[in-house]
Homo-oligomer: A and B are copies of this chain.
Amino acid sequence: MNFKAITMNDIARALDLSASTVSKALSNSYEISEKTKKLVLDYAEANNYKPNLIAQSLKQGHSNSIGIVVANIDNHFFSQVINGIESIAYQEGYNVIFTQTHESYELEVKNVNHLAHRSVDGLLISLSTETNNIDHLQKLQRQGLPIVFFDRVSDDMETHKVIVDNFKGAYEATTHLIKAGYKNIAHITAANTSVTRERLSGYEQALTDNGINVNQQYIKYCQHAGKDTAEIKGILDELLTNAVSPDALFTAFDRITTVTLGLLHQLKIKIPQHIALLGFTNTVLADVLNPSLSTVYQPGFEMGQEATKMLISLIKTKRLVTEFETIVLPTQLFLRNSTLRK
Interface residues of chain A, those whose CB is within 8 Å of chain B, are 1-5, 48, 50-55, 57-58, 61-63, 72-74, 76, 79-80, 82-83, 86, 95-100, 113-114, 116-119, 121, 139-140, 143-146, 258, 261-262, 265, 283-285, 287-292, 314-315, 317-321
Chain B residues, CB < 8 A from A291: 290
Query: Which residue on B lies nearest to A114, using beta carbons?
Result: B95
A119 touches B54 (CB 8 A): yes
Q: Known A58-B58, A73-B82; judge A285-B285 contact (CB<8 A).
A: yes
Query: Which residue on B lies nearest to A263, using beta carbons?
Result: B288
Chain B residues, CB < 8 A from A114: 53, 95
Q: Known A50-B117, A145-B3, A289-B289; judge A73-B62 contact (CB<8 A).
A: no
Bound state CA distance, A321 and B61, in angstroms?
37
B285 touches A50 (CB 8 A): no
Q: Which of A62, A74, A314, A320 has the most CB of B within 10 A?
A: A74
Q: Which of A3, A83, A86, A289 has the most CB of B within 10 A?
A: A3
B73 touches A79 (CB 8 A): yes
A321 touches B1 (CB 8 A): yes
- Whole-angstrom distance from the CB of A290 to the nearest CB of chain B? 4
B290 touches A262 (CB 8 A): no
Bound state CA distance, A332 and B262, in angstroms?
20
Chain B residues, CB < 8 A from A100: 86
B52 touches A5 (CB 8 A): no
A-B contacts, 12 of them at CB < 8 A, read: A3-B119, A3-B121, A3-B144, A53-B114, A54-B118, A73-B73, A96-B99, A262-B284, A262-B288, A265-B287, A265-B288, A289-B289
A262 touches B289 (CB 8 A): no
Bound state CA distance, A113 and B50, in angstroms?
8
Cross-chain contact of A289 among B58, B73, B82, B288 (Cβ < 8 A): B288
Query: Which residue on B lies nearest to A290, using beta carbons?
Result: B290
Chain B residues, CB < 8 A from A48: 139
Bound state CA distance, A63 and B119, in angstroms?
13
Cross-chain contact of A284 among B2, B3, B62, B258 (Cβ < 8 A): B258
